[in-house]
Structure 1
Amino acid sequence: MAGLQVAPAAAPTPPQPANPARMLGRQPTLRDRLDSVGHDLQHRLEPLLSAADIAVGEMANFLDTPAAVEEALSEQRPLEVPPSPAAAAGPPSGAEARQAAAAEAQLVRAAGVWVDPQKIMLQDKLAFVLGVCNVVVTAFWVGRWPETYHHFWLLKDVLLFSLRFLVYRKSGMHYMMFEYCYFGNALGLYHLFLRPDSAFLRRFAFAVMSGPLMWSIIAMRNSLVFHDGDKLTTLMMHASPALSAWCMRWHPQPEWTAGMQAAQLAEWNSATWLQMAVVPAALNVGWAVAYFLLIFVFFNKRIQERGYQNMFTAMVTRPSARKSALARLVLSAPRRLQPVTYLAMHTFASWLSLLPTKIWFDHYWAHTAITAAVLLVSVWNGASFYFRVFARKMMREQAQREAAAADGKKAA
């Protein structure tokens, strides 16, 4: 017994985090693995995203609603005019005193422009002026230089999408910018600026631009409302690609086909039903898969916790959207399958819009007529918006006049 040795006790094993799949006695599924990867990615990106939130939020204060502007300005200290070197050295002369007084008055007037609620209307006025100018410049550009219209399109995309991101980020709506139409814009610009000689990309981009993007004007009821920057941006996102598809098909730049053989040029200007109605659907399928992973797997927890909006919540789960046939159909599916149902319907509708694109590609007048008709629908929607607003205002004023007349009769 004296030679018997007792083995040292093993160190206690630290408790391992519970694995739901192991606790249930099954192997982790692909969804479990994706959820684990998504949570880990979110944990690593959280500090960076939080820092970006603060920086972008400060920039968006001056591009959001008047209330946000007033809130930002209310935190500013009163304006102070720094003394000039001459003033610091001694009493100012008469001319220097007048210059200092003029500078101070100018700063006070500038501050008054920002904090006066009446001046906030300037934002709507500027949007109206820019909206009218956009229509005029677009019509002139397409008529005068149709082969270069995509340059104007790129300028509008960069400017309006940047402003939209800042405003949407402030409102928690920035995940809406993962929508299919933004990828369609990127595809069209990539083809026109980097690979305009590619026959494959020419057909692919034309089908997307004159199919799902153009028909979104009708499906989403885009409206030509000049004073509303968000409505103008949404219309531009769909109308500019449709116009660029018309320009690039019927007014290509000579440099695009320079050096092509006759057979290459014939292929560049031809298309089959398969090439126009089936192959471009790959973009929508790829987008649907990426969208599902980003919105409903990787960033789903972040979106839910912070109450961020995306197109699924806007068109399906929002209380005011539940009355639509689309929302009722999606909500009739089991809860876990509702995102898949929504994306499947989106993909199917996009594919339907691709079916007639070969007709637009082959026939000039058919393409011109359908493009003009769809753009005219946006003008009609804008007219309906304006006159609906004006009609309500007129009815309200008429009711006030009738009430005032009735009160006058009673007083008499």
Structure 2
Amino acid sequence: MTSGNSRPPSPLLGLGKGYFSVPFERFARDDSTSDWASAFTLLDTVETYFDSHVDLIQRKLQKHSDRLKLKAEETFKIRDLSGDLLTENFEREIKNFKLRLSTRMTTLAASWQSAKVVRTREKVSFFIGVMSLLFAALMFGMAPQWVHVAYTVQGLYLLPLRFYQYKKRAWHYFLFDLCYYVTILNFIYFWFLPSSPALFVACYCLSHGSLASAVITWRNSLVFHDQDKVTSLFVHIYAPFTFTVIRHFYPNAEQRFPALRELPYLDPVKALMLSGGIYMIWQFLYWKFLLVDRRAKIASGQRTTSFSFLLNDKRGAIGRALSSVPPAYREASFMGGQLIYAILTEIPAVFLLYRSPFWSGVFLISIFAVSVWNGGGFYIEVFGRKFERELEALRKELAESTTRSSGASTPILSRGTSDTDISSLNSSPEKGFEMLPQVSSSDSSPDITPSESESKKDA
């Protein structure tokens, strides 16, 4: 079972503070505090976000200009300087100001180019996510025999990409989670052992159990522009979708998947035992490979696993429950609880979904609706709060600039500029900075940090 949201780390099994490494801290921040580039809609808010940053920079430069003006005024009042010395000092200040302005604009240009690259990647992710959803709906209605093929093709693209990204961030131990284990088993059944009833039963139950329920328990969200979130949702929802199609909507399914001939219905006890046995094999391998063989590396903070992540989530139900268990028994308690959870989530599939196409459809729609709701919350709440903070910062900058300039008039500007002109400059910073290069807001999109993510916990 995997997570789609991150939570703050805490000490693991009494290992003390400082257990987690920088890679984990990046992971824990990724999803909840990502510096996303949008606010109102999927694409329009990209420009809004970047424009706000440009305006903030302009207002900071305006503030610095005001300080220079006040400094020049104080120089006139305090020191009786000759005209030549005054001109020399002022020109030196202007020169320093221009140098700082040039540095800031160079930094802004570099950030701009980086934002373009990020925005292109997000557009590609958005396109693939939307088109994948469209093609899945078309295949379900027009060619259901191609659904398992689409599942495999997308998996061969998304899973290696996730491995590459997680390996770079030292998160690759998350890839030992149950969802990837079941996904590989599904591919093995489709293409190598389609006549195995035992493997079909195990894959069907686990796909409709632990994988599907993870969309709810781990709050997976349909966020098309986030490739990491799209991958997590794909892993968790495409498996039950594919097996529902094979069981109820695949024409002449027994010819392509001979195991179905021996499974007109499921024996509940046998089905739960088969899926439970497959689950226990994974749990033993996970325990041996990670919690025993790599315990020192995990304890040193070089690597983080979803197991340690859940154990340290004191805000979640699992973390709170385990905090009351003696440290020596926490691993066993956790693994036992995971097994019970896996079996309980398979009960609807065993007793209801395998027999009823209608309730299978209701189940899939309900799971997908949860992901859509979570995605809507991400776009509206996360982006909305971020835009609100940016807007408030702009208001404060403008108010400070107006307050500073309202009661002062500099001798230098008074030669050709009235107090009204100065007020208009402060109330409209864009007019006071016409020397700044104009940047088209339609191409802007600053991006994240794997804020990420998701958090980015998303395995």
Pairwise TM-score range, normalised by the shorter structure: 0.5 to 0.7
Give the Cα–Cα distance (whole angstroms) in 1 for the partners of residues 317 and 396 of structure 2: 41
The aligned amino acid for 1:345 is: G
Contact 1:131 1:226 in 2 (8 A): yes
Distance verdict in 2 for CA 1:133–1:332, change over 3 Å:
same
Give the Cα–Cα distance (whole angstroms) in 1 for the partners of residues 124 and 110 of structure 2: 15
Give the Cα–Cα distance (whole angstroms) in 2 for the partners of residues 174 and 272 of structure 1: 37
Identity, % of aligned positions? 23
Matches within 5 A, 1:53-72: none
Contact 1:217 1:239 in 2 (8 A): yes
Contact 2:253 2:260 in 1 (8 A): no
Give the Cα–Cα distance (whole angstroms) in 1 for the partners of residues 301 and 402 of structure 2: 56
The aligned amino acid for 2:272 is: A
**Alpha-carbon deviation of 1:218?**
0.7
CA deviations on 1:313-350 (whole Å, 9 max, x unpaired) are 22223xxx222221122233232322222222111111
TM-score by length of 1: 0.66
Give the Cα–Cα distance (whole angstroms) in 1 for the partners of residues 289 and 299 of structure 2: 13
2:346 to 354, 375, 378: 354
In the other structure, the counterpart of 1:277 is 272
TM-score by length of 2: 0.59
In the other structure, the counterpart of 1:222 is 220
In the other structure, the counterpart of 1:336 is 328
Matches within 5 A, 1:223-242: 223-242=221-240
**Alpha-carbon deviation of 1:131?**
1.7
1:298 to 293, 305, 321: 293
Give the Cα–Cα distance (whole angstroms) in 2 for the partners of residues 375 and 133 of structure 1: 16
Contact 2:247 2:354 in 1 (8 A): yes
In the other structure, the counterpart of 2:158 is 160
In the other structure, the counterpart of 1:386 is 379
Give the Cα–Cα distance (whole angstroms) in 1 for the partners of residues 147 and 275 of structure 2: 23
Give the Cα–Cα distance (whole angstroms) in 2 for the partners of residues 193 and 151 of structure 1: 10
Give the Cα–Cα distance (whole angstroms) in 1 for the partners of residues 110 and 161 of structure 2: 22
1:323 is paired with a residue whose SS is coil
**Alpha-carbon deviation of 1:243?**
0.7
| Structure 2: runs of 5 or more not aligned | 1-34, 36-108, 408-459
Give the Cα–Cα distance (whole angstroms) in 2 for the partners of residues 385 and 334 of structure 1: 37
2:309 to 314, 339, 360: 314
The aligned amino acid for 2:149 is: H
The aligned amino acid for 1:140 is: L
1:224 is paired with a residue whose SS is coil
**Alpha-carbon deviation of 1:214?**
0.9
1:280 is paired with a residue whose SS is helix
Matches within 5 A, 1:5-404: 116-121=113-118, 122-252=120-250, 254=252, 256-257=254-255, 267-305=262-300, 307-317=302-312, 321-358=313-350, 359-400=352-393, 402-403=395-396
Distance verdict in 2 for CA 1:259–1:169, change over 3 Å:
closer
| Structure 1: runs of 5 or more not aligned | 1-64, 66-111
Q: CA RMSD in A?
A: 2.8
Contact 1:202 1:268 in 2 (8 A): no
Q: Which has the higher contact order (CA 8 A, sep 6+)?
A: 2
Contact 1:114 1:120 in 2 (8 A): no
CA deviations on 1:110-134 (whole Å, 9 max, x unpaired) are xx99993233222222222222222
**Alpha-carbon deviation of 1:406?**
5.0
Contact 1:197 1:256 in 2 (8 A): no
In the other structure, the counterpart of 2:29 is none
The aligned amino acid for 2:392 is: A
How many residues matched? 296
Distance verdict in 2 for CA 1:195–1:252, change over 3 Å:
farther
Contact 1:128 1:227 in 2 (8 A): yes
CA deviations on 1:200-246 (whole Å, 9 max, x unpaired) are 33322211111111111111111111111111111111111011111
CA deviations on 1:159-182 (whole Å, 9 max, x unpaired) are 111111111111111111111111
Give the Cα–Cα distance (whole angstroms) in 2 for the partners of residues 253 and 188 of structure 1: 19
The 4+ residue runs of structure 1 with deviation greater than 6 A are 112-115
**Alpha-carbon deviation of 1:266?**
6.0
**Alpha-carbon deviation of 1:292?**
0.9
